[in-house]
Amino acid sequence: ILNVEQSPQSLHVQEGDSTNFTCSFPSSNFYALHWYRWETAKSPEALFVMTLNGDEKKKGRISATLNTKEGYSYLYIKGSQPEDSATYLCAFMKTSYDKVIFGPGTSLSVIP
């Protein structure tokens, strides 16, 4: 069974702090990695789709990097705001024929 891990499991930060979390996946094969943002009582929304080693993506204050050789991706949030409070999921695909496997998520709470 493919193991996609995320750390930390949860995070509490003060408004204005910058934060980052990690998604780890098997480095033997790589096809794609997705990041999703999931607010309570809503549906997951895609943030980034990353496909190449060294990819860096940015959307506003949120950015992500990808290292396929060592099997990890980082998600960074600069100057966290209360509206950033959500669970952040990564999802990994080993090959084009494989299913997307989601990690367990990192729950972020931003305290005003």
* Residues in contact with another protein by the rule CB under 8 A: 1, 31-32, 34, 36, 43-46, 49, 51, 89, 91, 93, 96, 99-105
Q: How far is the CB of 104 from another protein (least distance, A)?
A: 4
Return the ∠ at Cα 33 (arms to 107 and 110), rounded to 5°: 20
Q: How far is the CB of 29 from another protein (least distance, A)?
A: 14
Nearer to another protein, 27 or 51 (CB): 51
Nearer to another protein, 41 or 112 (CB): 41
Nearer to another protein, 49 or 111 (CB): 49
DSSP 8-state secondary structure symbol assigned to residue 84: G
Nearer to another protein, 1 or 112 (CB): 1
Token pair 């910058």 is found at 18
Q: How far is the CB of 14 from another protein (least distance, A)?
A: 26
Show contacts of 82-86: CB within 8 Å, 24+ apart. 82/15, 82/110, 82/111, 82/112, 83/110, 84/108, 84/110, 85/39, 85/109, 85/110, 86/37, 86/38, 86/39, 86/40
